[in-house]
Amino acid sequence: MNERSIFVSVGSTATDQQEIFVRAVEERLRSEGLIPCTVGRNTFSADAPLKAIVDLMDKCAGAVVIAFERMYFPNGIEKRGGPNQLSVTDFKIPTPWNQIEAAMAQSRGLPLLVIVEKGIQCGGLLEPGYNWYVQKVKLEATELNSNQFNGILADWKHRVLDAAGKLKQPKSASELTIAELVGTMKPSQLWSLLGALAVLIAGAFALGSKLFGA
Domain end: 152, 168, 184, which one?
A: 168
Residue range(s) defining the domain that contains residue 125: 5-168
**∠168-54-180 over CA atoms, to 5°?**
35
Q: Which pLDDT score is estimated for 201? A: 62
Burial class (CB in 10 A: 0-12, 13-18, 19+), 156: buried
In this structure, are 17 and 99 located in the same domain? yes
Q: What type of residue is 19?
A: E
Tens-place pLDDT, residues 80-93: 999 999 999 999 99
**Do 182 and 145 fall within a single domain?**
no
Same domain, 150 and 197: no
Whole-prediction pTM: 0.75
178 and 80 assigned to the same domain: no
Ramachandran region, residue 66 (left: φ > 0; alpha: ψ -120 to 50; beta: rest):
beta
Neighbouring C-beta atoms of residue 107, cutoff 10 Å: 9
Q: How many domains does the chain have?
A: 2
> DSSP per residue over 138-180, as a string?
-S-GGGGGSHHHHHHHHHHHHHHHHHHHHHHSPPPGGG--HHH
pLDDT > 90 in the chain, percent: 63
CA atoms of 32 and 19, how far apart (whole Å):
20
Q: pLDDT category, 200, cuts 50, 70, 90?
A: low
81 and 147 fall within a common domain: yes
125 and 78 in a single domain? The answer is yes
Region of poorest pLDDT, from 22-31, 42-51, 108-117, 128-137: 128-137
Q: Give the model's pLDDT for residue 177.
A: 55
Predicted pLDDT of residue 204: 54
